[in-house]
Amino acid sequence: MKSYLPKIISRGHPSTIMSYWAPVIAIFLTLLTGSIIFSFMGFNPLFALHTFFISPISTSYGISELFLKATPLALIGVGLAFCFKNNIYNIGAEGQLTMGAIFGGGIGILFSSLDVNGFWVLPIVILFGAIGGAFWALIPAILKIKFNTNEILTSLMLVYIAALILDYLVVGPWRDPQGYSFPKTRPFNESSRMPLLFEGLRIHFGLILTIISILVSWFIFSKTILGYQLKVSGLSPKASKFAGFSQNSLVVLTFIICGSFAGIAGVGEVTGPIGLIYRDISPNYGFTAIIVAFLGRLHPIGIIFSSLIIALTYLGAEDAQLFMQVPQAVGFVFQGLVLFYLLGADLLINYKITFNKKEIYEF
């Protein structure tokens, strides 16, 4: 009996090389599928891909926009990496971002309306953003360690609660009296806003904060006992207990770190490009950052690259809507495809496919 079917067999060992190749394979397959979808829609796939991935970043303004979008994605993504390494599935970063924007933005509006200015205002605004995000993340953390609830559900539900609180605030108490009843707050004063890095471009100080956070996270992951504890408790809770690491403190700590990163990202959005608080402060950055974190292999440096790639899908979708009259949601299709293929390609880390042509069994 001869078998020509490909066989999936265990490598016996996770392949390090394949764990770097898997994202590349995923991106390649995403582009391939994307061009097939575009040709079914009646577009020249090369033109479509060019519109989607090349033309958005062919100007310096485009590149600045790319970094602007990548800033919150990378910051939240690296925060999520703390949780995911610890096998904590915090998927409520979007809510933590919203809470950060409410806390930090709220302080900013208070200072602005009292007309208080000074170099110290912005650090306080950022700090409050971090506190807001951390506070929101602490809720699922405490529910988990006290009542063993599933953090996936609780953190997700809190996203919608945060969004409703934001809605209430911008429609009600925080609405701009001079805003013609639009659901938005008054704009921030200059001293509450993230300083711009270049004249005429929208990238702001948040980018610097993100880069610092990424470097610090890289140091924590690779050089410290805390990073080691995250690794161990993610791989084997039993071994982590044997080592004497406190599982509960790790849960709380990773939620706080992730929440404060998401909170800072939220402050960055409202005090950066937007300049005030209104309903739609984030195009799902908190959810998309989950893809960023996994595409970047939960590694800070990898997350830099993946955040840029995912940011490009946002820009590409905008351009596609303008020049090809396709809905902006195409961007989400690409994000979904990347995640789908990545999870598929991850199979190759532990398994390999062989085309076994020799006789395997004879009788």
Which residues of the shown chain bind other proteins in the complex (CB under 8 A)? Answer: 9-14, 223-226, 228, 231-232, 235-236, 238-239, 241-244, 246, 360-363
Other C-beta atoms within 10 Å of 336: how many?
Answer: 13
d(CA 146, CA 261): 24
Supply the minimum distance, in Å, between the C-beta of residue 230 and other proteins: 12
Query: Residues 6 or more apart from 327 whose CB is under 8 A from it?
Result: 321
Question: What is the distance between the alpha carbons of residues 68 and 22, in angstroms, rounded to a whole number?
Answer: 27
Nearer to other proteins, 213 or 282 (CB): 213
Closest contact distance (angstroms) between CB of 219 and other proteins is 9
CB of 107 to other proteins, least distance (A): 31
Helix (H, G, I), strand (E, B) or coil at 81: helix
Nearest distance in Å: CB 263, other proteins? 24
Query: Least distance (Å) from other proteins to the CB of residue 353?
Result: 14
Nearer to other proteins, 147 or 363 (CB): 363
Query: For residues 60 and 354, which CB has a smaller minimum distance to other proteins in the complex?
Result: 354
Token pair belonging to 278: 């209104």
Q: What is the nearest approach in angstroms of other proteins to the Cβ of residue 228?
A: 6
Residue closer to other proteins, measured from CB, 2 or 11:
11
Closest to other proteins by CB, 179 vs 237, is: 237
**Cβ-based neighbours of 312, under 8 Å, separated by 6 or more:** 53, 56, 57, 66
Q: How many CB atoms lie within 10 A of CB 175?
A: 17
CA dihedral 186, 191, 196, 197 (to 10 degrees): -160
Q: How far is the CB of 239 from other proteins (least distance, A)?
A: 5
Which residue, among 108, 126, 99, 72, has the nearest Cα to 255 in the 3D structure? 99
The CA distance from 75 to 304, in Å, is: 9
Neighbour-count burial of 105, counting CB atoms closer than 10 A to its CB (0-12 exposed, 13-18 middle, 19+ buried): buried
* Residue nearer to other proteins on the CB measure, 14 or 195: 14
The number of beta carbons lying within 10 Å of the beta carbon of residue 33 is 16
The two structure tokens encoding residue 218: 């890289």
Nearer to other proteins, 174 or 218 (CB): 218
Neighbours of 120 (CB within 10 A): 10
Q: Name the residue nearer to other proteins (CB basis): 112 or 217.
A: 217
- Scan for tokens 């090389």, then name that residue: 17
Shortest distance (Å) from residue 130 CB to other proteins: 21
The position carrying tokens 């690794």 is: 231
